[in-house]
Amino acid sequence: MEKQPTIGVLALQGDFAAHMRALERAGAHAVEARSRDDLAQLDGLVIPGGESTTMLKLLDEEHLFEPLREFGRSKPVFGTCAGAILLAREVLHPPQASLDLMDLTVERNGYGRQIDSRIASIRIEGEAQPLEAVFIRAPIIRRVGPKGRVLATYQGDPVLVQQGIHLVATFHPELTGDARVHRQFVKMAAGRYTEARGQWTVIRGQGSGIRGQGPGVSGRGSAGIE
């Protein structure tokens, strides 16, 4: 049995509870992270969706901005939606501070205000089974640096990108019952990711492969958009 990683979910604001459930479904021990001390016990961290400006303000108030950046220098971080905005090097529309853990340029609310949210079927690199992606006032990734690996696109734009030990999704994988994206991150946090063989398709669990958790399996529908 491989070690079960302890993964924190930044619980200052946003949909952290849904991420905790998704991480548990994907085989991790999930805990809320609110302080510098909380970070010390973690193998990885999820920065959830929410409102990135509010999160920045709270990170500042809690004196967590620098500790988070430091954490990300050696430990895996997975940012979804607002979390992806925080992980990027550069943020547009309007420009704002970010942790600069991944070489990305991200435009906030990139799909415009008329269509605030949508559910789309996307394909992940190397995966036959499509993934249902929930977008909520999502950013658009406008630039991916040379070390970034685009794992999925929607309408031609990257929506799931991995760079070394970090991962971002502009959609909300925690809102469907499909555990594949969280499972990928759990493996990264368990230390099973290697840069050289960092293909989505080669990072697999023992026994239950990532294909075992396709759409239509447990929880889909009941989880829904919260």
Residues that bind ligand GLN (CB under 6 A): 49-52, 81-82, 85, 108-109, 136-137
Query: Is 174 one of the annotated active-site residues of the chain?
Result: yes
Which residues fall within 8 angstroms of residue 197, CB to CB, at 6 or more apart? 203
Q: Compare residues 94 and 156 and give the one whose CB is closer to ligand GLN.
A: 94
Burial track 27-62 (b if 16+ CB lie within 10 A, e otherwise) = bbebbebbeeebbeebbbbbbbbbbbeebbebbeee
CB of 205 to ligand GLN, least distance (A): 28
Which residue bears the tokens 């789309």?
Answer: 120
CB of 185 to ligand GLN, least distance (A): 17
CA 68/CA 63 separation, integer angstroms = 9
CA 184/CA 132 separation, integer angstroms = 16
What is the 8-class DSSP label of residue 195?
Answer: S
Backbone torsions φ then ψ of 111, nearest 5 degrees: -90, 5
CB of 199 to ligand GLN, least distance (A): 27
Backbone torsions φ then ψ of 198, nearest 5 degrees: -75, 35
Q: Compare residues 6 and 105 and give the one whose CB is closer to ligand GLN.
A: 105
Category of 31 on φ-ψ map: left (φ > 0), alpha (ψ -120 to 50) or beta: beta
Catalytic choice (19, 81, 132, 166): 81
Q: Compare residues 137 and 220 and give the one whose CB is closer to ligand GLN.
A: 137
CB of 81 to ligand GLN, least distance (A): 3
Q: Compare residues 4 and 117 and give the one whose CB is closer to ligand GLN.
A: 117
Catalytic choice (19, 132, 166, 172): 172
Q: What positions carry a catalytic annotation?
A: 81, 172, 174
